[in-house]
Chains A and B, each alone.
Chain A
Amino acid sequence: MVEKKLRYPTGVRPLLIEETARRKRIESRFVNILEDAGFAEVVLPIIDYVDPYASILSRDNSRSSYRFVDREGDLVAIRSDFTPMVARALAPALDASQLPLRVFYRGDVIRCDASRLGVNRELFQIGAELVGDPSLDADVEVMNLAVKIAREFGVQPRVVYNDTSIATLLTDDERRAVATKRALAPADIARRLTPEIAARLESVAAALDPSTFALHLDDLDEDTGYYTGIRFRLFGPDSRKAIAQGGRYDDVYQRFGTPAAAAGFTFTVDDLD
């Protein structure tokens, strides 16, 4: 047994006085911007049942959370992704007359990635959700808001985005080739777009600042998760790590009983200075 006088479980640590003060300053700047933009805060539990999320989270995704059996014998997970939790919390009480709804959240998520460099990590996240607005304006609003927040912290952001619905236009083989090799040239994918998706991407591009936003048609993950439309990642000066990410996921709310379009983003605050 290794002594545990000083050691914490891998990937977690306390913040002492100065770090806490810094974290609180960052938080309050976030909250100010989000409240000015019309977003209201919600607080979510740190654990929740695994069952309700089964249809939304991929196997890999749910395996990256800590899970355990509670005293009643139910499988419970520590929070590892806010977005589905926000949907589950809001869906039963959604009132069509109050849509669109703008909410934000903050708190820790804990992930147990099984690799040597990024083992179990506790991450402090702040994110926003725009619920009940399927329009392109909503996509543009969340993307621009993410950029505005990054700028507020002195970051000159670059955003790379794509439309995950492109995946449905490709064969399984093509999808795998794009996910493992980026084997299809963006021009080839552009030729395959349906008029509808092409028009949507054109309108989005026209509404975004081209010096900040770049469309990468060949940037598709093998598993697009719960995303159904735009998917974006925001980079700061460290080009190797995204500090925020988000997009559109119009199917999530209906899995919790009330259909509603939704788009949003999450910042991982530990990555901001």
Chain B
Amino acid sequence: MRIAIPKGRLQDRTLELFAAAGYDTPSESDLRTRRLVFQRGGIEWIFVKDCDVPVYVEHGAADAGVAGFDQILEHNCSAYQPVELDFGRCRLMLIAAPDAPPLTKVATKYPRIARQWLEQRGVRAEVIPLGGSVELAAVLNLTSHVIDLVETGETVRVHKLELQDLVYEISPRLIIGKNAFRTETTKIRELISRIEEAQNATTVSRIA
């Protein structure tokens, strides 16, 4: 079985979750090397950019992985999403520049989601796809609005931007390739129930 771990924001909590579920995950010293593929406990762990996890799983290059709902939507990923994880939650928001004119141009890392959302809202606006630091587009008046993830809201405050609307609540999810489920059904079902149990156990211990 090959499992895709998202590098970046979700990496540490994802590895902790798999470890809590009893999987032999790559150690910290493993991770200090520049390698991106590790064999541990009969599983091949691959470390890929968070936005690429749905692509790997969708096309069967990995059997399972952890991906944010933002990336799942943006890639129109058809993989199963059996478990919603309780860390790394954030919100995809419509954010406006101070004293912004009506919404006509919006910068985002999520052009597909943005176009769909604008369409549903009946708003005609041009979507400008950017690779990162999207809020700068509003700060520098490249666009009047941006659609981006908001975790603590610190960036928004620092740049004196205004949160205008919720686009989606975003949670990371365990995702499973459809063909992996078809052909490795027993292992996949076990993976799902172990992740669910580990997550429930940590939730209970946090409440208690």
Task: Point out residues on A near B: beta carbons under 8 Å.
Answer: 115-118, 158, 160, 180-183, 214, 216, 219, 233, 235, 239-242
On whether A239 and B61 interact (CB within 8 A), knowing A115-B75, A117-B55, A182-B80, the answer reads no
Give residues 47-100 of B contacting A (CB, 8 Å): 55-56, 58-61, 63, 75-76, 80-82
Smallest CB gap from A240: residue in B = B60
Smallest CB gap from A233: residue in B = B182
Minimum distance in angstroms from A23 CB to a CB of chain B: 23
A182 and B183 form a contact (CB under 8 A): no
Residues of B contacting A181 in the complex (Cβ-Cβ under 8 angstroms):
80-82
On whether A219 and B55 interact (CB within 8 A), knowing A240-B63, A241-B60, the answer reads no
Instruction: Pick 10 A–B contacts, CB within 8 A, sort by A.
Output: A115-B59, A181-B81, A181-B82, A182-B82, A182-B176, A233-B179, A233-B182, A240-B63, A240-B179, A241-B60
B60 and A116 form a contact (CB under 8 A): no
5 pairs of A and B residues whose beta carbons are closest in the complex? A240-B60, A239-B183, A160-B182, A117-B59, A181-B82
Interface of B is mostly: mixed
B80 and A235 form a contact (CB under 8 A): no
Partner of A216 from B61, B176, B177, B185 at Cβ < 8 Å: B185
Residues of B contacting A240 in the complex (Cβ-Cβ under 8 angstroms):
60-61, 63, 177, 179-180, 183
Bound together, the chains give a CA A157 to CA B180 distance in angstroms of: 15
Partner of B183 from A116, A118, A235 at Cβ < 8 Å: A235
Bound together, the chains give a CA A239 to CA B82 distance in angstroms of: 20
Residues of A contacting B63 in the complex (Cβ-Cβ under 8 angstroms):
240
Minimum distance in angstroms from B150 CB to a CB of chain A: 25
Known: A115-B58, A115-B59, A240-B179. 18 other contacts (CB 8 A): A115-B76, A117-B55, A117-B59, A118-B59, A160-B182, A160-B183, A180-B81, A181-B81, A182-B176, A219-B182, A233-B179, A233-B182, A235-B179, A239-B180, A240-B63, A240-B180, A240-B183, A242-B179
Residues of B contacting A182 in the complex (Cβ-Cβ under 8 angstroms):
80, 82, 176, 181
Minimum distance in angstroms from B27 CB to a CB of chain A: 27
Is B16 part of the contact surface with A, judged by Cβ < 8 Å?
no
Task: Point out residues on B near A: beta carbons under 8 Å.
Answer: 55-56, 58-61, 63, 75-76, 80-82, 176-185
B182 and A241 form a contact (CB under 8 A): no
Bound together, the chains give a CA A181 to CA B81 distance in angstroms of: 5
Residues of B contacting A116 in the complex (Cβ-Cβ under 8 angstroms):
55
A235 and B81 form a contact (CB under 8 A): no
Residues of A contacting B182 in the complex (Cβ-Cβ under 8 angstroms):
160, 216, 219, 233, 235
B184 and A239 form a contact (CB under 8 A): yes
Minimum distance in angstroms from B38 CB to a CB of chain A: 19
Minimum distance in angstroms from B158 CB to a CB of chain A: 33
Minimum distance in angstroms from B183 CB to a CB of chain A: 4
Bound together, the chains give a CA A181 to CA B179 distance in angstroms of: 14
Minimum distance in angstroms from A190 CB to a CB of chain B: 15
Bound together, the chains give a CA A216 to CA B185 distance in angstroms of: 9
Residues of A contacting B81 in the complex (Cβ-Cβ under 8 angstroms):
180-181
Smallest CB gap from A178: residue in B = B80
Minimum distance in angstroms from B50 CB to a CB of chain A: 14
Residues of B contacting A219 in the complex (Cβ-Cβ under 8 angstroms):
178, 181-182
Bound together, the chains give a CA A245 to CA B80 distance in angstroms of: 20
Bound together, the chains give a CA A116 to CA B179 distance in angstroms of: 19
Smallest CB gap from B184: residue in A = A239
Smallest CB gap from B181: residue in A = A182
Residues of A contacting B80 in the complex (Cβ-Cβ under 8 angstroms):
180-182
Minimum distance in angstroms from B125 CB to a CB of chain A: 22
Bound together, the chains give a CA A116 to CA B60 distance in angstroms of: 13
Residues of B contacting A180 in the complex (Cβ-Cβ under 8 angstroms):
80-81
Minimum distance in angstroms from A184 CB to a CB of chain B: 12
Residues of B contacting A117 in the complex (Cβ-Cβ under 8 angstroms):
55-56, 58-59, 61
Residues of A contacting B181 in the complex (Cβ-Cβ under 8 angstroms):
182, 219
Smallest CB gap from B192: residue in A = A182
Minimum distance in angstroms from B52 CB to a CB of chain A: 8
